[in-house]
Structures are given as structure tokens and as C-alpha cells.
Amino acid sequence: MRKRIPLHEGFTLKALVSADAPKMYRLIDSQRAYLGEWLPFIQFTNRVDDSRGFIEMAIESRKNNKDFVYKICHEDRLIGLIGTKETDYINKSTEIGYWLAQEYQNQGIMTNAVKSLIQELFDTMKIQRIQICCAIGNLKSIAIPKRLGFKQEGIKRNGEWIGNYEFRDLIVFSLLKTDVSS
């Protein structure tokens, strides 16, 4: 996978590097309430070292050609993340997860980022199935797979632990390579 994927008008996906930890933590910390509504990991990101640990795992995963996490940049400013998780090369499938700073919402940035990552996964990695799971009620997140032609497969009951012994149901969407190439 490429380390840099251009999007549009100053927006780029770039592979995470160790030096991104303070910037990533500051962004998360400055938008803790907004991001924390739908992203359970926010409650466990309490210092720069937490972001550094995540980035180190992402770098190692990239080195092992397993999963790929990108920072979403406007010019050189980190404004969100997007990446794959639980990639299964035998079955040629992966899941995409993403988040974006509040002030960059509703501009088509994440839709464009997801679309570009999908293209890279289908073309470069020869992935055949991409999944996106969205919390029920997270309308902004749900709109992205719908907009990009994903099919709703069902509900993953108790699919995400949100802390305090509580779980959240997730809507499972999928897109097959044949869905876009037919």
C-alpha cells in the first residue's frame, strides 16, 4: 500500500509516523466530548503515550503488511484517521474505520477519503470485500457507506463495548469489488 494517497485540494492520506503522537493526542483531547460520543477508545486516550502506543502498533502492522492506518491531512494538519482493521488476506476481506475532527465534518472529506482507500484496497491489495460497521444512531457515519454503495447486511448485536459494562449494536455494511466493477 502506498504511504501517501492524494485526495483533493490540499487533502491527503499519509501513513502514520511516531512524530504524529502529540498532534493526534492534542486533537483527540481538544474534541474529547464530540469524538467520545461514538468512539469508545477516546475514554482510554488520556495522555500522549496512549496515542504513541496506538501509532507504534499501526507502524508495526504496516511493516508486517497486515493493516494500514492513515492520518487524514489538510495541508500538513492532522484532522482525522482512517484505516483497515482485521484484514483477512486468505478471504480477501477487511474492515475500514474512520474519524474526523468536528470542524471538517459535512464537507465530503471523509466520503472522499473512504472512496480513495476503497480504490487502493481493491486495486493494490486485491481485496474483494470491505466492511464498515457503524453504531446505530451515528447518522453521519452511516451516511458514508450508504453514499458509497455499500449494502446493509444486518446488525451486529453488542458489537462494540463502550465501557461501564455497556455495549452498542452496530450496523454492518459491505461492498464487494464486483459491486463497483460491474
Whole-number Å distance between alpha carbons of 142 and 180: 19
Per-residue pLDDT of 6-59, as tens digits, reads 998 899 999 999 999 999 999 999 999 999 999 999 999 999 999 999 999 999
Whole-number Å distance between alpha carbons of 110 and 87: 21
Contact 41, 14 (CB under 8 A): no
Using CA atoms, how far residue 53 sits from 4, 17, 26, 165, in Å, is: 22, 11, 15, 24
CATH superfamily of 4-128: Gcn5-related N-acetyltransferase (GNAT) (3.40.630.30)
C-alpha cell at 76: 500538513
Give the global pTM.
0.95
Whole-number Å distance between alpha carbons of 52 and 103: 24
Confidence of residue 91 (pLDDT cuts 50, 70, 90): very high
* Of 23, 131, 2, the residue nearest 80 (C-alpha): 23
C-alpha cell at 32: 474529547
Q: What is the mean pLDDT of residues 65-85?
A: 96
Per-residue pLDDT of 114-134, as tens digits, reads 999 999 999 999 999 999 999
Instruction: Identify the pLDDT of residue 182.
Output: 54
Using the structure block, give the residue that is written with the C-alpha cell 476503497. 118
Comparison of pLDDT for 142 and 164, the residue scoring more: 142
* Domain locations along the chain: 4-128
Hey, which residues does 135 pair with through a beta bridge? 170
Per-residue pLDDT of 52-73, as tens digits, reads 999 999 999 999 999 999 999 9
Confidence of residue 164 (pLDDT cuts 50, 70, 90): confident
Instruction: Identify the pLDDT of residue 8.
Output: 87
